[in-house]
Structure 1
Amino acid sequence: MASERISPEWNEDPSDPDKKELAQAHVKAVDYSSSATTQPSFGTLLYFAAQQRKCEEGGLGSEGALGRDDLADLPADEVERVNARRALRAATWQACFFLVVTDIIGPSSAPWAISQLGFLPGIAVYTVLGVVACYTGLLLWKMYMGLDSDRYPVRGYGDLAEKIVGGWARHTVNILQSVQLIFNVAVVILGNGQSLSQISHGRVCFSVLMLIWTLVGMIVSQLKSLRKISWLGSACVILSLFGIFINVGVVPHSLPNYSGALNQLGVVQGPTITELIHNSGFNGSLVAVMNIVYAYGGALMFVEFMTELRRPMDFWKAMCCAQVFIYVLYVFYGTFIYAFQGQFSMIPANQGISIYWAQTLTNCISLVTGLIVAALYGHVGLRSIYINIVEDLFHGPLLSSRRGMLIWFGAVVGYWSGAFIIASAVPQFSNISGLVASVCILQFSFGIPPALHLCFSLQRDAVVLHPEYDPSAVEPVVTDSWKGVGASEWWKRAVGRQWWLKSMNLTLALAALAAGGLGAYASIESIIAGFASASAATSFTCAGPV
């Protein structure tokens, strides 16, 4: 594979002063000849990442900071992996915008969440969490830009945690990531099973409908690169907006779906009631907040998106634009539907429409968008499992190889089968969403990023503020550490700069951890209460929950 190495642009015109400067940066970057598989110091990671960013700003794009001759000191299999990662860096930030929106967008729970809180608290929670979600997304981007390089790549959320905290953090993140994504797929299976049940008027067994959707998901998840589904991101956004417009246009001219609200929510038919502030009890309010958290849960895949961007430095544009778009959509859609349907607002919201043609059309749209989202979740979840378990732990074949494709096929079947079992065992859309939001999404989107950035900034400042620090040195001189001899000086440098930002990140991380514990408790209590309800669907049942 060495003959397939990618030639960087600066070799083409060495007489160009700008290219010559970049060439010198390349040569300096690879003077550090230790294997990419060894664990480098934090200062070394900062150095190589800085060289990578310099080359990208100079126009090398996906070619990165390692050239044809610069890979000579690496093993052949590592060269192959570097070239494979380079080939995947093809997405633009505009394409990434649609992927981020596709990943996050989920307004179907907004009317129900606002019905549990009332207009004022509902809008306030959406606003606060939207701002925090954007902030934590920027933290992930800053850490990625500060640590990623061709020689020591950040391939996912787990890699980022490992480079900052250690190997145990990577394993913890990867386990939580796998749990979240399989629960996300379970929610997609459950929601689309409900859509098919409404379309068929309940004439087909609900478990069979979810099984059909599971089989479809297995087929779609055979795609192994985001490049093959990135164009579907824009289609998903357009279809989602089309479904929302239909719902907004129909709801003012029709009655709520009283029978569906009774089966799902236990709300009996009566006058529609809306409130500025609604008290649904501790558990009800907390589950509603967790559903709002779930609606903003996209940070888990942000690092994956950065790894496939041609220019990772542009990720902030895609993420910020996506967050603003999603916030406006959530608040408008949630308040509008709640204003007309009140306590009968269902989840997903389109299933609260009583007119059959509109209900069927929006359900069909949900099926298509759900398929796209499921492909996205399945791709990232399975890719993370494959890289971290098959390639790294068991030293298995590359995903692009024939054996890798066979293993991928088996992983897809197992992954979707597990999601089907979860969806069938707990057919409660809002409660299962609240549970996964509490345990995983809240931490990935609001807790882990500030915690990681706190550790990142402490180590970075301790290195760069060292009296003998030389930014041009591959291995910066560090004569002390956070423990042992010289610890007091290390902590002075680490904490002294931007102490207020470090304090804010620590507070945010602890608050997310506490809120996650409370949310998990409330969701579990709601699941127990849901099964105790006479109108609730049971596990592995043929009777649908709507």
Structure 2
Amino acid sequence: IAFPGIHNFADAGLFFFGRWAKEVSEAAQIILLVFIMSAHILTFSIMMNVLTNHGTCTIVFTVVGMVVSMILCIPRTMKNVALMSIASCLSIATAIFIAMIGIGVDPPAGAHAYAVTPSSQTSFRTGVVAVANILVSFCSNIAYFGFISEMRQPRDFPKALAMLQTCTCSLYIVVAVVIYRFAGTDVKSPAIGSASPIIRKVAYGIAIPTIVVAGVIYAHVATKNVYVRIWRKTNVMNEKSFRSLGSWYGLTILLWVVAWVIANAIPVFSQLLGLLGSLFCTWFSMILPAAWWIMMNKKQLTMNWKKTALTIVNVTIALIGLVLCGLGVWGSAVDISQNSGSASAFSCGDNS
């Protein structure tokens, strides 16, 4: 809001740190978004395997998910995306409550939940990867700049953000605690998979809009970032010409194909999320926002006790992010290496 010329993380990097930061931020943001798109393709294949009892090759399901997502990415503005998001929000809320209640009524056999997991049943590496998985849920801030730039009243964004964080954090905590209490340490990823077969099918069926639309939102942001980069100094973005529409469609197809390849190359959902969270979400959710706050307030970091406290908080957040990035990448790499035999790349096998 204070800097209307900033449309994405790359613009913010340029504003605060210079040209090199813009290039690095832009590349990292695109890679992150494509990885998130791949996670949604993978989730789509899991959903289809559950609903059809593994009716066909999993690769076919990933192709279907990719094509459906491509079609929904055709509009160039976020107006239609915003409308789809309403259905997405309602569907995931309904699905997780059905799964949560179902798991509570009919919990998995032999489930054990601990307030503190015994060291004999976990490891430092497993804990780090688990934290990295959680960070993915807080990485939606990469889309904030794009939404703000298209709002009629950008100054309403803080109110929308406050409501979003209040609702999502409350939902995360309640759902996580309840499902963990009944599903125990062997809870599946995604957690809906811990429900009974019938409940799992019902929940996945209701979650279809979210599984598709959420990926489309990230794809739209990724495509638009590249699109704006290509045509920023021209009037092409306001045209309906062949090069304007053709370049948008071409970028959409390219990014979804890359996401499809990643989804099939890393076919275990939790491993993909762990790598995604540690490599990218630590930077976009923790390190960069904290660094920007420090840069914006560099002349008044210790002006009063409130500024001093906020300075300490932001420095701490940045340091924690750096540590989680390094340890998370290590943990995820080892995890993928050690479990490479559990699910092979480009496999037709059931991944549900």
| TM-score for both structures, normalised by structure 2 | 0.93
Query: In the superposition, relative to structure 1, how do residues 399 and 221 fare at CA in structure 2: closer, same or farther (>3 Å)?
Result: farther
Is the contact between residue 103 and residue 182 of structure 2 (CA under 8 Å) also seen in structure 1? yes
Once the two structures are superposed, the pairs formed by residues 313-328 of structure 1 within 5 Å of their partners are 313-328=155-170
Moved more, 413-422 or 229-238: 229-238
Preserved CA contact (<8 Å) 2:87 2:209: no
Does 1 or 2 have the higher relative contact order (CA < 8 Å, sep 6+)? 2
Q: 1:378 to 1:347 in 2, by over 3 A?
A: same
Alignment of 1:293-308 (within 5 A): 293-308=135-150
Which structure 2 segments of 5+ residues have no match?
Answer: none
Measure how far apart 1:248 and its partner are. Answer: 2.3
Give the distance between the partners of 1:333 and 1:255, measured in 2 at CA: 14
Q: 8 Å contact 1:161–1:169 — kept in the other structure?
A: yes
- 1:153-203 per-position Cα deviation (integer Å, ceiling 9, x unaligned): 222221122122211111111111101100000000001101101112123
The amino acid of 1:524's aligned partner reads A
- Among candidates 366, 369, 383, match of residue 207 of structure 2: 366
Alpha carbons 2:91, 2:208 under 8 Å: kept: no
| Alignment correspondent of 2:86 | 234
Structure 1 or 2: more helix by fraction: 2
**CA-to-partner distance for each residue in 1:496-543, whole Å, 9 max, x for gaps?**
6356244543332232122111111111111111114xxx11100000
Q: Which amino acid aligns with 2:197?
A: I
1:113-151, Cα deviation, whole Å (9 max, x unpaired): xxxxxxxxxxxxxxxxxxxxxxxxxxxxxxxx3322xxx
How far apart are residue 366 of structure 1 and its match?
2.4
Residue equivalent to 1:419: 259
> What SS does the aligned partner of 2:127 have?
helix
Alignment of 1:79-478 (within 5 A): 145-148=1-4, 153-256=5-108, 271-278=110-117, 279=119, 280-356=122-198, 358-388=199-229, 390-392=230-232, 397-398=236-237, 400-402=239-241, 403-458=243-298, 461=299
Paired residues of 1:199 and 1:363 also in contact (CA < 8 A): yes
Note if contact 1:306-1:315 (Cα within 8 Å) is conserved in structure 2: yes
Q: Decide whether the 8 Å contact of 2:33 with 2:222 is kept in 1.
A: yes
Q: Which amino acid aligns with 1:147?
A: F
1:407 to partner: Cα distance: 0.6
Q: For residues 55 and 220 of structure 2, what CA distance do their matches in structure 1 show?
A: 33
> Quick check: 1:545 aligned with 2:351?
yes
Post-superposition offset of 1:457: 2.3
Following TM superposition, by how much is the alpha carbon of 1:339 offset from its aligned partner in structure 2, in angstroms?
1.4
Contact 1:254/1:353 (<8 A) preserved = yes
For these two proteins, the number of residue pairs brought into alignment is 345
**Distance of 1:343 and 1:440 partners within structure 2:** 26
Q: Are 2:321 and 1:515 equivalent residues in the alignment?
A: no
**Structure 2: distance between partners of 1:381 and 1:453:** 24
CA–CA distance in 2 between the matches of 1:156 and 1:426? 28
Aligned alpha-carbon RMSD (Å): 1.8
Map Cα deviations across residues 13-50 of structure 1 (whole Å, 9 max, x no partner): xxxxxxxxxxxxxxxxxxxxxxxxxxxxxxxxxxxxxx
